[in-house]
Amino acid sequence: MEALTRLSRLVEEVRTVDKVVKVLERCEELSVGAEARVLRCRFLGIDAVAKLRLPKPFLDPRIDAKLRVSRTRKEARAILKALELGVRAPVPLWIDEESGLLIMQFVEGILLRDYVVEKGWCDDTCRYFEILGEFLGKMHGGGLVHGDPTTSNAIINPLGELYVIDFGLAEFSNALEDKAIDVHIAFRAIESTHFVAEQEFKNCFLRGYSRTYDRWRDVVARVREIRTMGRYVERRRTVWGEDRE
Ligand SMILES: Nc1ncnc2c1ncn2[C@@H]1O[C@H](COP(=O)(O)OP(=O)(O)O)[C@@H](O)[C@H]1O
Ligand SMILES: [Mg+2]
């Protein structure tokens, strides 16, 4: 009973963002992106990441607020969907949509990008690309596109487990085109950052992808078309957001 009272007091305490910030301790900045500030903090004793979308003073405040709410909400929903589909991703711990705040599990480890740059082509790097492909296939099978499935948005923890992070551009979509763009983005990142064994890495990725997504052939065919016909229009992070809700 006393524990329950304590818990409800705690929930009361974390209800507003000001108060959440109070229960966030020992924060240090991890990154400041175009979309969000990412902090590493202790949250109720848990090693956590706080992703905060701040108001953009140059946007109409109402549009800005709406975008912040919808992107924050969509990011949390996308992570939950990914987890449900069997993708390893940081577990959401707290959300305050109005404040653009999403708190999630901190995943210790190194970015897949740095791992691949350091190790180059070997069985282990191939295996990680395969897992990344498997995870993307699971998402696509479940109607979720990641939006930025690059090696900068994947972390290998000390146990050697791969996590997918940054669902800030994710969409709920079953459109072949959206899935093809996802794979295209993954390929483009391999070409620009991991060109030492470009084709090999792509093959490893596709081995995983084809294992978890049965329409992989259609997606790959579409990726080829997009590339050869140059019909891909660069999808970027913009201050206007790109919500299609
Ligand atoms: N859950 C997490 N655990 C550990 N590090 C994280 C986590 N989320 C983000 N980061 C770190 O913060 C960086 C930026 O976060 P990310 O979600 O990718 O935001 P952005 O939209 O700015 O790219 C990541 O590249 C990673 O280094
Ligand atoms: Mg990122």
Is there a catalytic annotation at residue 148? yes
Q: Which CATH code for domain 110-229?
A: 1.10.510.10
How far, in Å, is the centroid of ligand 1 from the Cα of 3?
34
| From 64, 96, 148, 166, the catalytic residue | 148
What tens-digit pLDDT sequence spans the chain (245 residues)? 566 676 666 666 666 677 777 788 889 999 988 889 999 999 999 999 999 998 888 899 999 999 999 999 999 999 999 999 999 999 999 999 988 999 999 999 999 999 999 999 999 999 999 999 999 999 999 999 999 999 999 999 999 999 999 999 999 999 999 999 999 999 999 999 887 799 999 999 999 999 999 999 999 999 999 988 765 555 544 444 444 43
Ligand 1 site, residue 104, Cβ cutoff 6 A: yes
> Please, what is the average pLDDT of the chain?
89
Query: d(Cα 200, Cα 189) in Å, to the nearest integer?
Result: 14
Work out whether the CA dihedral 46, 42, 152, 240 comes out positive or negative: positive
Distances (CA, A) of 103 to 29, 92, 168, 179: 14, 6, 13, 27
Q: What is the per-residue pLDDT across 19-59, written as a single tens digit (0 to 9) for each?
A: 777 788 889 999 988 889 999 999 999 999 999 998 888 89
Class of the CATH domain delimited by 8-105: alpha beta
Residue ranges of domains in the chain: 8-105, 110-229
Q: For a pLDDT cut of 90, what percent of the chain falls above it? A: 73
CB 128 within 8 Å of CB 153: no
CB atoms within 10 A of CB 158: 8
How far, in Å, is the centroid of ligand 1 from the Cα of 182?
19
Longest dimension (CA), the chain: 66
Ligand 1 site, residue 133, Cβ cutoff 6 A: no
Ligand 1 site, residue 101, Cβ cutoff 6 A: no
Retrieve residue 58's tokens. 């140059």
